[in-house]
Amino acid sequence: MVECDFPECNTFGSVIRFALELEKGASAVYEDLAKEPLAASAAETFKALSAAHKKRGELLEFTRQQKLNEMILEPIQDMRREDYIIDTKTPKGVDVKAGAKFAAKIEETSAKFYSDSAKIAKNLMAEAARIMDKLGKESLANKAKLEAL
Amino acid sequence: MALLSEVKKDYGKLKNFVNGEWVDSTSGKYIDIENPTTGEIIGQVPMSSADETKAAIDAAQEAWWAWRETPPITRARVFFKLKEIMEQHIENIARIMVQEQGKTIDEARGETRRTIENVETAAGIPSLMMGYNLEDGGAEGIDEDAVISPLGVFGAVCPFNFPAMIPYWFWPYAVATGNTYIIKPSSQVPLTQNYLTKLVEQAGFPPGVLNIVNGSHEVSDTLMEHPKVKGISFVGSTPVAKYIYKHSAENGKRVQAQGGAKNSLVVMPDAVLDRTISNMLASFYGCAGQRCLAGSNLVAVGNVADPLLKSFVERSKKIKVGYGLDESVNMGPVISAKAKQKVLDYIDGAEREGGKVLLDGRKIKVPGYEKGHFVGPTVVDNVTPDMKLAKEEVFGPVVGFMRMNSMDEALDFIHSSPFGNAASIYTQSGKSARDFRYRCQVGNVGINVGLVAAMAYFPFAGYKDSFFGDLHGQGQDAVKFFTDRKVVITRWF
């Protein structure tokens, strides 16, 4: 299990930090699931999703470095941290169905986080909003993929 | 949320950077550098002498001709290299800035990005400093050219509020155009510039092209008076800007001196309140109000006043104050105990003059940072044009709420100020916006934008007592400031 330190979502930096923690957590969960003997038939899918979440983390780091514009650094007051926290304690001994169900919940929460943060980022930085939006859509696609397992 | 780590706890005794070498000051005088959030001493900065400054000027003069003869494209390449190195150090630059200045990590990251943008813009110098010509411009067979040439040694005297960016409004343009340079960083925040100069060193500028001399008045006065220095750039308060402008001009220098400000944000009845308030919070409380573009007077026009004030106060209460290395903090401290006292005096004074303090940041306590120079978000209602709070620069997170009947009245009030740095209007009416931008006599106008911070390729403008000089920092203005036109008339027999 990986420890995630989810901050309050009240600045651009803390929203990105939250997203980075979320990606770190999701990637670790998939890594754990890929090692589950009863879920071996989906190991490749879980490994691929773990790698995808790592890549998303890199994209977020890039966003923080390149897209920040201090002219429009408004405080963010409409996002509640509690609404987006994911469970990263991967259950042990799960089969494909149970593992996928657990991960699908993470993707669902991620999708909501990115969708909400994209709406807020749209008012601040359209470029950042586009990235959040893309990540949210990817999470929904991941959820659908998991539900089909 | 855990704090981001500090780059170092103690930066020790800083050195000057002269002729490509880091040298200890010979003055023997040092002052402490304080972290304004924790009250910890995080280093010492030398108070260099006039002789040390003269040595830097000599080194810059010595380096000038070879650098001036270096082709613009080759000079540009060094800036490309510098940009590449800076990109790798963004986070360290930002965290040092938080540590010594107190701003939030987002603000510091944003400032670092703007710093890099000035390097990127200056790297376009082969195109930016092209001259012009006219065949047969003198007469038939006589051509006329205007060649853009560098002038020699320039210097900058820099403020505490933007430790990274403000020196970069100037020196990249000066050096890219073929001049050499001396920076005197603010003695309150010299660490960021110290770190950045180590990156400059790695980029491959020849010795003497960029020099850093830490210190105070003695350094500034020497720069202003020395015959080898061609021009001075300055950002700070209006009284000092006036002095720098006058004293440098008396000594035959070019000068660009940015002074103080008193910026009004005008909210029209048709403004989109929710978005307007979010944007204004950044303007009033960003960098704890210590920026020359910060909103200071909130001017409500007509019946928008009551709902605006109610919502603005509610949302101001949610501003999280603390150490900027906590990414969820919205606002840090002001720079020093003295600065804090000055801000508190303004709030006390406003109360005595009839202002009603609706949100009071005077007694704010930030757990764990009892020695920090914090002033919480403060909103004072019933502010009138004759009150000190409406007229003078506070440089803190204090909002003077004013009620007016029309945009005309708001513009008259703005024009009554000796300052002319920035003003903004919030409206959905194109007509109101157009009238405002056309009539408003300030250097930076915002339409639904409360922080009118020009990008690197535009000048950082300013009118009246907010700017002394003619050519501003950044972009084409900077290129012109650091160069002159040499006219060449050619005839071949």
| Contacts with A14 from chain B: Cβ below 8 Å | 1, 327-328
- Cβ atoms B294, B393 nearer than 8 A: no
Phi-psi sector, B43: left (phi>0), alpha (psi -120 to 50), beta: left
State the virtual CA torsion across B286, B287, B289, B293 in degrees, nearest 10.
-80
Q: Which of B378, B377, B456, B445 is nearest to B410 (CA)?
A: B445
Q: Cβ of B107 and A7 within 8 Å?
A: no
Q: Cβ of B113 and A70 within 8 Å?
A: yes
pLDDT in tens, B16-49: 999 999 999 999 999 999 999 999 999 999 999 9
In percent, how much of chain B has pLDDT > 90?
100
Q: What is the pLDDT of residue A74?
A: 86
Q: What is the pLDDT of residue B1?
A: 65
| Nearest CA-CA distance, residue B289 and chain A, Å | 14
Q: Cβ of B281 and A74 within 8 Å?
A: yes
Distance CA B159, CA B129 (A): 28
What is the average per-residue pLDDT within B220-233?
98
Q: Cβ of B106 and A17 within 8 Å?
A: no
- Facing B327 at nearest CB: one of A11, A70, A71: A11
pTM for the model: 0.95
Q: Which CATH superfamily is domain B16-259+466-491 in?
A: Aldehyde Dehydrogenase; Chain A, domain 1 (3.40.605.10)
Place of tokens 């609404």: A83
Model confidence band, residue A72 (pLDDT cutoffs 50, 70, 90): low
Distance CA A87, CA A97 (A): 17
By CB neighbour count within 10 A (0-12 exposed, 13-18 middle, 19+ buried), where does B443 fall?
A: buried
Residues forming CATH 3.40.309.10 domain(s) in chain B: 263-447
- Cβ atoms B260, B443 nearer than 8 A: no
Model confidence band, residue A111 (pLDDT cutoffs 50, 70, 90): very high
Q: What is the pLDDT of residue A120?
A: 84
Right CATH for A12-70+87-147 from 2.40.50.100, 3.30.70.380, 1.20.1260.10, 3.30.450.40: 1.20.1260.10
Domain B263-447, CATH: 3.40.309.10
- Cβ atoms B89, B201 nearer than 8 A: no
| Nearest CA-CA distance, residue A59 and chain B, Å | 16
Active site annotation includes B292: yes
pLDDT in tens, B182-200: 999 999 999 999 999 999 9
Q: What is the pLDDT of residue A29?
A: 97
ipTM above 0.95, yes or no: no
DSSP secondary structure code for residue A38 in this structure: G
Residue B96 pLDDT more than 70?
yes
CA distances from B464 to B186, B230, B261 (A): 24, 24, 10
| Contacts with B275 from chain A: Cβ below 8 Å | 123
Model confidence band, residue B346 (pLDDT cutoffs 50, 70, 90): very high
Across chain B, mean pLDDT equals 97
Cβ atoms within 10 Å, residue B333: 31
Contacts with B367 (C-beta within 8 Å, 6 or more apart), sequence order: none
Domain ranges of chain A: 12-70+87-147
Model confidence band, residue A77 (pLDDT cutoffs 50, 70, 90): confident
Residues forming CATH 3.40.605.10 domain(s) in chain B: 16-259+466-491
Distance CA B253, CA B250 (A): 7
Q: What is the pLDDT of residue A68?
A: 75
Q: Which residue of A has its CA nearest to B320?
A: A10
Distance CA B437, CA B450 (A): 14
